[in-house]
Amino acid sequence: MQERFEIALHTPAGQVTSAVDVPTGFVPVSAIVPLMRRLGEEAQALEVARSIESGKAPSCHKGCAACCRMLVPLSAPEAFALRDWVRSRSAEEQEHIARRFSEAKVRLLSHGIWQQLSALCEATLTTDDVALDGVNRLYYALRLPCPFLVDEICSIYDERPAACRELLVTSPSMHCEDLTKTPIEPVSVPIQVSTVLGLVWQELTNTPTRLIPLPLALEWADRYEGESRRTWKGDELFDQALDKTWRFVSQSFTRMSKDSDT
C-alpha cells in the first residue's frame, strides 16, 4: 500500500511542488532514498534555472568525469540502497563490480588511505572539517576513478549517490581537471539529500551521523546487514526526512538573511 503526499517546499530559488507515493507498510530506511533523491533533484532544478537566467549555465556534460575521481560520501541509507542495487544485478555484473572495488581497495591500501577512510566510517564523533579536507586531498591526488566509472561514463547514473547529483558547476569544465589549482563555481545546493538521510538514520538508531566513502560502501553495508534490514513505517520515515529537509532549507534562508544584512 502507498499513500500520496502533496508537498510544497519553499527554497531560496522558488517553491517545489511535488506528489510523492510513499509506502505505508513497514520498510527499511533505504526505501525512502529514491523519494528524497527526487525531491532534491526537483529543488536543484530551480537553482539551475536561476543560474541560467543569470547567465551562468552548468558546464557539466556526458563524458566529463573529473568529479568521478573525487571522494564521494554516502549516508548509511544510501550505502544500503547501493548495496541492494548491486545485489539485484546479474552474477556476471556483480563479479565485475566486485573486481573494480577490489582494485580500488588495493590501491587505497598501498597509499595508506584505506585505513583513514575506514576510520571515517566508524567515527563516533562528528568528523573535523580540517581532518576531512586532508583525506579529501590525499584521495583526489590519486586520481582514482570511481569503481562505477566505465569508459569515462557513470554506469549507475540512475542510482548514483546524492553527492554526485548535487555537484554541478558553471565554471569551465576544464577547471575541474585540477581542483587544487583552478577554482570552480558550483551551483547552489538547496537540499543536501545525503545530509538529510544521515540525520534520519542518526535519529532512528541513536548513533552518530555516518560518512561512508563510496569505495567502502559495499563492505560497510555488508558489515551492517542486520541494521539494514530493520524496518519502520514508510510514512513515518518520510515525515522524518521532510522534517530534516525543512530544517535544512530554513537554515539556508537564515544564512541568506545574515549575508544580506552583512
Q: What is the pLDDT of residues 162-220, one digit of tens each?
A: 999 999 999 988 888 877 778 889 999 989 999 999 999 999 999 887 889 999 999 99
* pLDDT of residue 261 exceeding 80: no
Per-residue cell: 63: 563524458
List, in order, residues 6 or more apart from 151 with CB less than 8 Å away. none
Q: Tell me what pLDDT residue 250 has.
A: 86
Terminal alpha carbon distance of the chain: 50
Half-sphere exposure of 258 (CA within 13 A, CB side): 6
Residue of 117, 125, 200 whose CA lies nearest to 162 = 200
Residue of 127, 95, 101 whose CA lies nearest to 114 = 101
Q: Tell me what pLDDT residue 142 has.
A: 93
Contact in structure between 234 and 32 (CB atoms under 8 Å): yes
Per-residue cell: 101: 572495488
List, in order, residues 6 or more apart from 13 with CB less than 8 Å away. 43, 46, 47, 49, 50, 188, 190
| Average pLDDT of the residues in 144-164 | 95
Cα–Cα dist 246/252, whole Å:
10
Q: Tell me what pLDDT residue 24 has.
A: 87
Q: How far is CA 52 from the centre of its chain?
A: 24
Residue of 157, 174, 183 whose CA lies nearest to 41 = 157
SS3 category, 186 = strand
8-state DSSP, 61: -
Contact in structure between 240 and 233 (CB atoms under 8 Å): no
C-alpha distance from residue 76 to each of 16, 79, 114, 145, 201 (Å): 26, 5, 18, 22, 7
The per-residue pLDDT for range 99-130, each reduced to its tens digit, is 999 999 999 999 999 999 998 888 765 545 55
C-alpha distance from residue 229 to each of 28, 73, 134, 212, 225 (Å): 6, 22, 34, 18, 7
This prediction has a pTM of 0.92
Region of poorest pLDDT, from 86-90, 116-120, 159-163: 116-120
Per-residue cell: 23: 509506502
Per-residue cell: 158: 540512475
The amino acid at residue 57 is A
